[in-house]
Structure 1
Amino acid sequence: MTTTSTSRRALAAVAALTAGLLTATAPTASATGHPLQWAACPDVPEADCATLTVPVDWSDPHGPTVDLAVARRAATDPARRIGVVVVNPGGPGGSGVEFAQDAPSTFSPEVLARFDVVGFDPRGVGASSPILCDLGAVGVAYPDGRPDTPERFDQLAAYNRALAAECRTHTGPVFDRVDAQSAVRDMDALRAALGERKISYFGQSYGTLYGQEYAERYGDRLRAMVVDSVVDAGSGQPGLLVASARAAEDVFATFTRWCDATPSCALHGRDVPALYTDLRGRAGRGELHEPGRPDYPLTAAKLADRTVRAGYGPDWARLADFLVELETQTPETASVESSGPDEPQLSRKPGFAVLCQDFGGHAGSAADVARLDAEVRAAAPTIQAAPIWDLALLSCVGWQGPELNPAAPWTPRRAPEVLMLNSLHDPATGYEGAVEAARQARGKATLVTYEGSGHGVYTRTDCTRATVDAYLLDLTVPAAGTRCPAAG
């Protein structure tokens, strides 16, 4: 999963729009009666920007509202326009506004010719009333160590509750309504505001969760749906954590095989798992530091995170160089001064509220954390961590807010055939999750396997791009079991 901060471009777009641009095209009505006015985006004039007003709480449509930032890249060949494809890049925290504005860097010219590409910043993200937190005002220290003892668990719970209260104060009522169910209600309000009876959808990573929820709730309002790098909506936090550990171990094994087969790898001919085990031990003893930053210790958790995230690209050569650099460090070169806890405050992304509301099964005790940690170590004997989902585990300790999107298998009965894509070796959304999500769909989804590594499939090869384009443009569903070879 990807997480981004509020963008300067999106903020500028909203500032200009709220100042009242007069160059808008004819408005269409939103689901709440507010007009949707299109105007050239200030930083990307080739795209149009607007705001959509929706209820904070959809069960209280006359209560407080939230303004969502929206962007559109109009079809370049209006005479052949098919309709709208709504996009979401994932996160949680990715900007749909930026994704739509930058659509030419993702979609093929033919897709851009035939579709309006429309994206919105989900509530709490980017320019849509972003979650704001003054970490310096939390007033409770972030505790050192894993919350696997009652004392440390209670300390982390106290910190998380204070952080949530601080964020809630700065953000307002939308803080407690940033879940996927609210997001898909917003997406359907956008569909109505666009004047479209049906939309197509393209979601990546965490955006695949929104896609699954929309297909289940509003499947008859979909023309087509592509979900690329799939989050398993049917799993709670514990299941996702352990599956993430298996994905981490698989990514490391893939890196090891690459290094064994690639003479240019800086660790070619070496016992890479043994080296990593040694480095993990040294990191745990405080003997390693961030390369070029001797005052910043590299913990075992940070080592696992850096290792697994190298698989996003993937960038195996850089990972090998990184491990070699760590190997050459001596205990004396690592600072004895601690830069703070293993999960420093600055790493706490606003997306934690999304994760805690979307996925239940939060650890309720130190014993729960210890049990999950043991399961993670068993699932990933080399990496011994699940860095992609561990933040959710830690962030939701002590969570007292709502859980609005309970895990359940998705059942897109009224939806068209959904196209799913996943890398065989994906560090963030492991392949097993995509297989399970496809199974849950009960014949309403076709999974295409990219036989390589990395997070995100559509732009990988001619095969992956052609498969998606044929589906979006002509509704051509590939044969079951379709696989695209890894890029050379």
Structure 2
Amino acid sequence: MTNQRTRKSLLFALAASAAAATLAAPAQAAPAAAPALQWKPCADAPTRECADLSVPVDYRAPDGPRAHLAVSRLRTDHPEARRGTLLLIPGGPGGSGFDLLKQKGEAMRKETGGAYDIVSFDPRGTGTHGSSLAECGLDKADLEISSFIPWPGPDGDIGENAARGRRIADACARNGGPLLRSFTSANEVRDADLLRQALGERKLSVYGVSYGTYVAAQYAQQHPDRTDRVVLDSSGDPDPTRVARGWLANTSVGVADRFPDFAKWASTPGNPDRLADTPEAVQPMFLALAAKLDASPRTFADGHKLTGNHLRMGLLQTLHSDEGFAPLAKLIRAARDTTTDQLTVPDVLPVAVPQSDAAVRTATICNDVAWPKSLPAYRRAVAADRIRYPLTAGMPVSVMPCAFWKDEPADKPGRITSQGPSNILMVQNLRDPNTPYSGSLKMREALGERARLVTVDSGGHEAYLANGNACGDRTVSEFLKTGQRPAGDVVCR
């Protein structure tokens, strides 16, 4: 079953993104002294502690309005082995640090021998666990995920994408206010450093996953003297001209890299959800079914509507992990069964995007960089991408609300470089649908001797403590415990 975490990480299919830019320093630095953190047991888990961190909405006006971040901490269970604090930075933009700590904290504490207090936070704007909330006030129809994600029409037309993108941009400008304009990767880096001060730490070790690797890499580039050990899990192309827009475009490659894993599984003899006799037959079958649903959508008894784009969105939501293969196959089998509409629909169909998720994700990618404005250029890109990567049907290069965004970026992304301490370990699945391996190689090249790359011969998004690869997990854990990295890049089969 596709869980909520997977859905949130795939709202743009870039949620998984990566890491790359040095942002311009703010015109005025953050306050010298961070407010003290008042820790108390978390309501949902007394073994963890919770606190509120107050941060400036605008770091250029540090005495102005404040935003609030919900912070959570899992203390070391071996105080004598404590090295410092490990900050977990979730994907998104706008993923929950609370959820990431809940999912990985105990396992990471065990794997690292209690070397760290493990800390994370919910970014500004998410509205979760007490973090400040901002919304765009979007219409319900524009929040349905296969509409919110810019899937072109059956013939590649982007007219509806453009109209929806303009409505979303207008609503965010009208309703978001200064808080929404503050949703940037640059401010998440600043918030992380203010948290470091509040924790009383001279340095932070950092684990970033998916989009969180982007923030982690920025932090390591800007503050080399404040970073101890850095792990980038599921990175992407660091070229600053490709920030945000390029991450989405790269999912065309990622899905093409990953689909053969599903095709092999779906053609295995004895599989009760087998779809074809050979792996080579699965993709043509899927494309033909999507085209049929483009022409004649189905409506199941429970009201679920299944169009070609709903099916494609279901594919994106399930390639994240092997656990999604069976639900996807069941959806395909249901869509192919024309004998009845009385069907139980697998839990992979698109859902509505929460208002806060839509606001944070849209605002962050649109505030970070300026996007192209030319609709003809988007049409040409979609036409070419549909031919080269038919599984994603042009969506990754279609027009987003950022094409109509009202505000110019306050900070310009720069380049990740090899200048800095050699304290970065990258870990990457070979067949990642969201942050493809080809993008991680660009990051590896940019970092030079600052980094080592652990390639995990696996499919899916997220590598460390995620897919049972003992070699990859052991290498990352050893680095976090001892600082020892491989002498060179390694491949874990």
In the other structure, the counterpart of 1:185 is: 190
8 Å Cα contact 1:219/1:413 also seen in 2: no
8 Å Cα contact 2:161/2:400 also seen in 1: no
8 Å Cα contact 1:92/1:206 also seen in 2: yes
* Cα distance between partner residues in 1 of 2:365 and 2:325: 29
Distance 1:139 1:4, change over 3 A: closer
Q: For residues 377-416 of structure 1, what are the structure 2 equivalents within 5 Å?
A: 377-386=386-395, 393-404=399-410, 406-411=412-417, 413-416=419-422
In the other structure, the counterpart of 2:318 is: 310
Q: For residues 80-159 of structure 1, what are the structure 2 equivalents within 5 Å?
A: 80-111=81-112, 113-125=114-126, 126=128, 127-136=130-139, 146=152, 152=160, 155-159=163-167
In the other structure, the counterpart of 2:75 is: 74
Selected match of 1:214 from 219, 225, 230: 219
Distance 1:196 1:3, change over 3 A: farther
Distance 1:343 1:118, change over 3 A: closer
Distance 1:175 1:481, change over 3 A: same
1:376 and 2:385 aligned = yes
In the other structure, the counterpart of 1:16 is: none
1:476 and 2:474 aligned = no
In the other structure, the counterpart of 1:444 is: 450
**SS at structure 2 position matched to 1:420:** strand
Distance 1:262 1:356, change over 3 A: farther
Q: Percent identity?
A: 28
Distance 1:103 1:34, change over 3 A: same
Shift of 1:215: 1.0
**SS at structure 2 position matched to 1:227:** strand
* Cα distance between partner residues in 2 of 1:329 and 1:139: 30
- Which residue identity is paired with 2:329? A
- Structure with bigger RCO (C-alpha 8 Å, 6+ apart): 2
- Which residue identity is paired with 2:66? T
* Cα distance between partner residues in 1 of 2:141 and 2:319: 34
Shift of 1:134: 3.1
- Which residue identity is paired with 1:34? P
* Cα distance between partner residues in 2 of 1:139 and 1:102: 30
* Cα distance between partner residues in 2 of 1:257 and 1:3: 24
Higher alpha-carbon deviation: 91-100 or 179-188:
91-100
In the other structure, the counterpart of 1:288 is: 298
Selected match of 1:421 from 422, 427, 440: 427
Distance 1:138 1:384, change over 3 A: closer
1:34 and 2:35 aligned = yes
Q: For residues 449-460 of structure 1, what are the structure 2 equivalents within 5 Å?
A: 449-459=455-465, 460=467
C-alpha deviations, 1:378-404, integer Å up to 9, x for none?
3313442446x86xx423231113424
Distance 1:73 1:108, change over 3 A: closer
Shift of 1:484: 1.4
**SS at structure 1 position matched to 2:53:** strand
Selected match of 1:200 from 196, 199, 205: 205
In the other structure, the counterpart of 1:299 is: 307
* Cα distance between partner residues in 1 of 2:142 and 2:330: 40
In the other structure, the counterpart of 1:226 is: 231
* Cα distance between partner residues in 2 of 1:468 and 1:45: 28
Shift of 1:205: 0.7
Shift of 1:288: 3.2
Distance 1:250 1:399, change over 3 A: same
- Which residue identity is paired with 1:134? G
Q: For residues 240-319 of structure 1, what are the structure 2 equivalents within 5 Å?
A: 240-264=247-271, 265-269=273-277, 271-289=281-299, 293=302, 295-314=303-322, 315-319=324-328
Distance 1:164 1:256, change over 3 A: same
C-alpha deviations, 1:321-380, integer Å up to 9, x for none?
2212211137x959xxxxxxx9977687221111212344x2413212212212321331
8 Å Cα contact 2:34/2:197 also seen in 1: no
* Cα distance between partner residues in 2 of 1:370 and 1:482: 41
8 Å Cα contact 2:173/2:406 also seen in 1: no
8 Å Cα contact 1:424/1:453 also seen in 2: yes
**SS at structure 2 position matched to 1:254:** helix
Distance 1:343 1:284, change over 3 A: farther
**SS at structure 2 position matched to 1:436:** helix
Say how many residue pairs are matched. 446
Distance 1:409 1:145, change over 3 A: closer
* Cα distance between partner residues in 1 of 2:137 and 2:41: 33
Higher alpha-carbon deviation: 113-122 or 366-375:
366-375
- Which residue identity is paired with 2:189? V
Shift of 1:441: 1.0
**SS at structure 2 position matched to 1:226:** strand
C-alpha deviations, 1:255-308, integer Å up to 9, x for none?
22333455415124052122112111112113334x664x33222222112113
Distance 1:345 1:77, change over 3 A: closer
- Which residue identity is paired with 1:466? R
* Cα distance between partner residues in 2 of 1:445 and 1:93: 26
1:324 and 2:341 aligned = no
- Which residue identity is paired with 1:218? H
Distance 1:167 1:226, change over 3 A: farther
C-alpha deviations, 1:424-450, integer Å up to 9, x for none?
111111111111111111221111111
8 Å Cα contact 1:201/1:226 also seen in 2: yes
RMSD between aligned alpha carbons? 3.3
8 Å Cα contact 1:138/1:166 also seen in 2: no
Shift of 1:475: 0.5
- Which residue identity is paired with 1:418? I
In the other structure, the counterpart of 2:179 is: 174
**SS at structure 1 position matched to 2:46:** coil
In the other structure, the counterpart of 1:22 is: none
Shift of 1:413: 1.9
8 Å Cα contact 1:249/1:379 also seen in 2: no
- Which residue identity is paired with 2:328? L
Distance 1:443 1:145, change over 3 A: closer
Shift of 1:251: 1.7
* Cα distance between partner residues in 1 of 2:183 and 2:441: 27
Shift of 1:149: 6.8
* Cα distance between partner residues in 2 of 1:238 and 1:106: 34
8 Å Cα contact 2:33/2:197 also seen in 1: no
* Cα distance between partner residues in 2 of 1:89 and 1:51: 18
Shift of 1:46: 1.1
8 Å Cα contact 2:138/2:168 also seen in 1: no
**SS at structure 2 position matched to 1:442:** helix
**SS at structure 2 position matched to 1:60:** coil
- Which residue identity is paired with 2:78? D
Higher alpha-carbon deviation: 347-356 or 50-59:
347-356
- Which residue identity is paired with 1:401? D
**SS at structure 1 position matched to 2:456:** strand
Distance 1:254 1:384, change over 3 A: farther
